[in-house]
A and B are shown apart, each in its own frame.
Chain A
Amino acid sequence: DIQMTQSPSSLSASVGDRVTITCRASQDIRNDLGWYQQKPGKAPKRLIYAASSLQGGVPSRFSGSGSGTEFTLTISSLQPEDFATYYCLQHNNYPRTFGQGTKVEVK
């Protein structure tokens, strides 16, 4: 299985902060990666696909970058509605695997 190591596992930030979350894959997954946001009691919502493509309807403050084994999700200016848990998901190989999640909390 491909291991997706996500960091940090949690972070505290303030509205307006720039936030960066990283996912490292245990082997090359090209750009076969998505980023998801999950709020309590809700299904995850895809923000980014193909590592850097913004899902329709997602604010442009979200961006993704990387390829191969190192990937980054950046929120350029954190908004109140962005406090949530974020996951990466690789779909290069079976079984598909998620990172363990990053909880973004209010500082």
Chain B
Amino acid sequence: QVQLQQWGAGLLKPSETLSLTCAVYGGSFSDYYWTWIRQPPGKGLEWIGEITHSGSTNYNPSLESRVTISIDTSKKQFSLKVTSVTAADTAVYYCAGGSNWGQGTMVTVSS
């Protein structure tokens, strides 16, 4: 049974950097593409990007210039950084792998 637990700062000011981490418990870390997805309040889901256990990444072109996804296989963790945030980045951020999802982190960008 794979479980994902995520954490990170929930309140940011415009221009700051969003930073979230997701830890994977159980299962094989090499089995999945590790993914970040976000959902603005009251809206649909947006795929941000993914990373493999070997560190290969794919990003959504709409965010690619500001997004970095990294991985630490020794800790079975992967992370998301989004630079220069604005109010438009306010959303619940989820980590996921296969059919497994984290609990979500609400990130609010406000001055």
Interface residues of A (CB under 8 A from B): 1, 36, 42-46, 49, 55, 87, 89, 94-101
Count residues of B near A (Cβ-Cβ below 8 Å). Answer: 19
Chain B 17-50, CB-CB to A under 8 Å as 1, else 0, gives: 0000000000000000001000000001111011
Contacts of A36 in B (CB 8 A): 45
Interface residues of B (CB under 8 A from A): 35, 44-47, 49-50, 58-62, 94, 96, 99, 101-104
Contacts of B96 in A (CB 8 A): 43
Chain A interface, DSSP helix/strand/loop, else mixed: loop
Q: Is the CB of B104 within 8 A of A98?
A: no
- Name the residue on B nearest A56 (C-beta): B99
Q: Is the CB of B45 within 8 A of A44?
A: yes
- Name the residue on A nearest B33 (C-beta): A91
Minimum Cβ distance to chain B for residue A92 (Å):
13
